[in-house]
A and B are shown apart, each in its own frame.
Chain A
Amino acid sequence: MQWETVIGLEIHTQLTTNSKIFSGASTRFGAEPNTQACLVDLGFPGVLPVLNEAVVRKAILFGTAVEAEIARRSVFARKNYFYPDLPKGYQISQYELPIVGPCHVDILLENGETKRIGVTRAHLEEDAGKSLHEDFHGYTGIDLNRAGTPLLEIVSEPDMRSAKEAVAYAKKIHQIVTYLGICDGNMQEGSFRMDANVSVCPRGEEKFGTRTELKNLNSFRFLEKAVNFEVERQIDVLESGGEVIQETRLYDPSKDETRSMRTKEEANDYRYFPDPDLLPLVIEESFIEETVKSMPELPEARRSRFEQEYGLSAYDADVLTATRQQADYYEIVVQEAGDAKLAANWMMVELFGALNRASLHLEESPIAAEALGGLVKRIADSTISGKIAKSVFEEMWESGKGADEIIEAKGLRQITDSGAIEAIVDEVLAENAAQVENYRNADPKKQPKMLGFFVGQVMKKSQGKANPKQVNELLRAKLSG
């Protein structure tokens, strides 16, 4: 039988704020356990939540970026369940009336086609704490620093049909939230976590199969592997005559498999009701207008601007705007260097190559954008040749020094004085009289190829510093004379 995979994603994006969604405790990552959990986060008797304005603004930015309706009135509800990382015994989350309504995003498929993925909603909620299962003589330790960290949960329609599509969609959402600066996108720290709802059904069947929920996938690679494993598992179950059970499953990257999470199996009766401690969130038009004034340029807009303003190819513009950091980096390089195309080439070929070899992210690059711009500028103004530039780049990478400093210290400045170049050219011609003779007698069609020999000799004599263009011109003139 031919099976069809159906995938929907719930993405939890941690919003970048100073303080928590309902309290004045810090959201900084990596603090000592429970040192950033205040009375409100700990759910002490008598405390009350007060909503953080920045959280609302960030949700509005997301909603506006994806052209969704921003609810003028949204409501916080309580989702009731007992778990040690949930101090109050309920999570405050938007349920019936979320702040961001339905919308969609387009993803690019491998075959070059575009596919539209529906986004059901995006709502604000508080994060839970963390359970630490290391051995505390049979106990689990609870750290509530993360409790109350603001989340925007973005829920998709079950519109994806393969793990690859799911990854493309997740990357798209990641790109949008990081461009907006509402989420740092740091997956290792859990700032961007995905849950995948996966089911399979016979191809052509309209009714979806029973789904399972894969929890807390914190990398695109794990998302792809977990979905693929789960699809195989479900098909195996069905083909061997079994039934898929609706359940929550955890992906174990070390074993590359998913397994049932029994503890969360609990009949899920969350008893949602409007939180009486929080009045309805009413958003005025003026509040939205004020918020979107600070809306950064979005990936699509930036890509087409790169094509028009910098004359880049569609491919180059796409690569350079893949993340906001790359696009920001590129624009600094261009500003320093003045030559947009040269800047694009140097970033995509030399810089990305070097980063790749060293397994580094752009943020970790030993060469800052200004420094790379300084190097490209020296190629553009003919101070050094492209070839010399590569060695300067290497030294910059190693030493952290600026291009100009290296060029001066090593005397790498290109020789552009035509008198000096002519002297070298004359020397070379005099030393290679036989080759000169050959050249002059040769078929003119073969002459360009033979010119290379003389160019090489001149460059060698000038230690690579002679301007190649001038060398070529002079040689051609002299040899034809």
Chain B
Amino acid sequence: MDELHRKSIAELSAGLAEKAFSSVELTRHFLARIRDLDSGLNSVITVAEKEALLQAGAADERIQKGEAGPLTGIPLLHKDIFCTKGVRTSCGSFMLDNFISPYDATVVERLAAAGMVMLGKTNMDEFAMGSSNETSHYGPVKNPWDTERVPGGSSGGSAAAVAARLAPAATGTDTGGSIRQPAALCGITGLKPTYGRVSRYGMIAFASSLDQAGPMARSADDCAWLLSAMAGFDERDSTSVERPVDDYPGALEQPVKGLRIGVVKEFFETGLDKDVAASMEQAMEELKRFGAELVEVSLPHSEYSVAAYYVVAPAECSSNLARFDGVRFGHRCEDPKDLEDLYKRSRAEGFGAEVKRRIMIGTYALSAGYYDAYYLKAQQVRQIIAQDFRDAFAQADVLLGPASPDVAFRLGEKASDPVSMYLSDIYTIAVNLAGLPALSMPAPRVKGLPVGLQLIGNYFDEGRLLGVAHQLQKATDWHLQTPEAFS
């Protein structure tokens, strides 16, 4: 039993099928790990023990009856941005500290339908705004590799929990790198699918044209299974795509030989840590060994992606977060003297500093007289950046680069300087602006800390990304390394 947290989803699934252990036992094992080990990490906000054991019991019945699927009985954690019926959904904010969602997000519903067991909800940057998990109302998450350091964000709780093996897998969301950057900093595998591949219904919106949910797990193999259950058209989200879901587990064994892998020139220029660059080189050598053809490609306008992003994302967030007004749900201030006071104090008290900054930047960018200079201009830059990718994919099947310019930084290191924090997403943001799929997987560690290799695919090419990652993971053990305290 002691090794249950070291197994892949495929191994756990086989064990459940063979009745080597039950889902209830598996669930108890991970609940115990959360109880025993999370106090130093703060990766889980809400543990749903009662619900988890009920779901696990139901999963065991399904397994008994022979009605189980590959994910039935496997536990997971949900990022606290996904609405979960009857379980608090805080989005990392005091605003929603008391919010019990009356409904389930589509992602939650689908994974539950597949028989997965929800252990609880993970910590995150408030409303997914942050790159270090320090903006959470519930306190920062610590990186399991070095608890003095941040896990990345905004899906920092999910990344830290998976890295510490507190759950076999977790869900995340990625608006500007929020799956890939924490996956990189915590040494796990995380995939941001093509925009529209996974339903956004029930996922609390940050920036609607950028947000996308995806799986976070140890390996590409595990992510493939999760994505199979998460992806697909949803009639409640009209931006979800009506297109059949590929066989992701089936795509894992596609050969890498002959694949043209485009190394993004700009991602290796100024700002990249030398050791991280060396780690990238090692990973690229592996790929070459498999017969992949490495070609240099350019995304000439990627340097503008952070600027465009910090107009588009705040603009959309300023509008998306207007619904938190203290009237129908969420925090309401004491004794408002009039309507204006109700709005202003409820919002000032409910939101943290970073959320307020972004709402205000977005409000400014959309306001009369500035719309063209900021919002419209950013949409044009967005178009140019998307065109860069179209050009690059004419020369390569998959693009490659680091997921983050450096290893995990220290807690508090960038917290007082929003702009330096924003720049830690420099390699991930362009992908969201274009709506492309991308994953981060562990590359060789440097200074004892994880490094993320980012693979970017063309639209709906998740299968190929997972395949390349899987082939690398079959030949290496980078993804299997676990921080000692959590092994």
Question: Which residues of A53-91 have CB atoms within 8 Å of chain B's CB atoms?
Answer: 78, 80, 82, 84, 87-90
Task: Known contacts A82-B325, A89-B325; decide if A48 and B201 are in contact (CB<8 Å).
Answer: yes
Per-residue 0/1 for B322-353: is the Cβ within 8 Å of any A Cβ (1 yes, 0 no)?
A: 11110111000000000100010000000000
Query: In the complex the two chains form, what is the Cα distance from A88 to B320 in whole Å?
Result: 8
Residues of A bordering B, CB below 8 Å: 39, 42-51, 78, 80, 82, 84, 87-90, 142, 269, 271-273, 276-279
Give every chain B residue within 8 A of A49 (Cβ-Cβ).
Answer: 238
Query: In the complex the two chains form, what is the Cα distance from A88 to B316 in whole Å?
Result: 13
The distance from the CB of A38 to the nearest CB of chain B, in whole angstroms, is 10
Give every chain A residue within 8 A of B323 (Cβ-Cβ).
Answer: 43-45, 87-89
Query: In the complex the two chains form, what is the Cα distance from A142 to B82 in whole Å?
Result: 28
Query: In the complex the two chains form, what is the Cα distance from A39 to B105 in whole Å?
Result: 12
Q: Pick the contact of B89 from A45, A78, A269, A278 — CB < 8 Å?
A: A45
The verdict on B481 contacting chain A, using a C-beta distance below 8 Å, is no
Q: Which residue of B lies closest to A271 (CB)?
A: B366
Query: In the complex the two chains form, what is the Cα distance from A18 to B325 in whole Å?
Result: 30
Give every chain B residue within 8 A of A44 (Cβ-Cβ).
Answer: 101-103, 323, 328-329
Given contacts A44-B102, A84-B325, list 11 more A-B pairs with CB under 8 A: A45-B96, A48-B236, A48-B239, A89-B321, A90-B322, A269-B367, A272-B371, A276-B209, A276-B239, A279-B238, A279-B239
Instruction: List 13 A–B pairs whose Cβ atoms lie within 8 Å, in order of A's numbering.
Output: A39-B103, A46-B202, A80-B318, A87-B323, A89-B319, A89-B323, A269-B367, A269-B368, A271-B319, A271-B366, A271-B367, A276-B239, A277-B205
The verdict on B375 contacting chain A, using a C-beta distance below 8 Å, is yes
Contact A46 B366 (CB under 8 A): no
Question: Which residues of B10-54 have CB atoms within 8 Å of chain A's CB atoms?
Answer: none
Give every chain A residue within 8 A of B363 (Cβ-Cβ).
Answer: 271
The verdict on B183 contacting chain A, using a C-beta distance below 8 Å, is no
Contact B322 A89 (CB under 8 A): yes
Closest 5 CB pairs of A and B: A89-B322, A271-B366, A276-B209, A276-B208, A43-B323
Query: In the complex the two chains form, what is the Cα distance from A259 to B339 in whole Å?
Result: 21
Q: Which residue of B lies closest to A142 (CB)?
A: B327
Contact A80 B322 (CB under 8 A): yes
Q: Which residue of A lies closest to B205 (CB)?
A: A46
A-B contact count (CB 8 A): 100
Q: Is the interface of B mostly helix, strand, loop or mixed?
A: loop
Contact A46 B368 (CB under 8 A): no
Give every chain B residue within 8 A of A279 (Cβ-Cβ).
Answer: 238-239
Question: Which residues of B193-248 have CB atoms within 8 Å of chain A's CB atoms?
Answer: 200-205, 207-209, 235-239
The distance from the CB of B256 to the nearest CB of chain A, in whole angstroms, is 35
Query: In the complex the two chains form, what is the Cα distance from A423 to B322 in whole Å?
Result: 91
Task: Known contacts A87-B328, A142-B327, A273-B371; decide if A48 and B319 are in contact (CB<8 Å).
Answer: no
Q: Which residue of B lies closest to A144 (CB)?
A: B328
Task: Known contacts A87-B328, A276-B208, A279-B238; decide if A47 and B319 are in contact (CB<8 Å).
Answer: no
Contact A78 B102 (CB under 8 A): no
Contact A278 B238 (CB under 8 A): yes
Question: Which residues of B307-325 have CB atoms within 8 Å of chain A's CB atoms?
Answer: 315-316, 318-319, 321-325
Q: Pick the contact of A84 from B237, B319, B339, B366 — CB < 8 Å?
A: B339
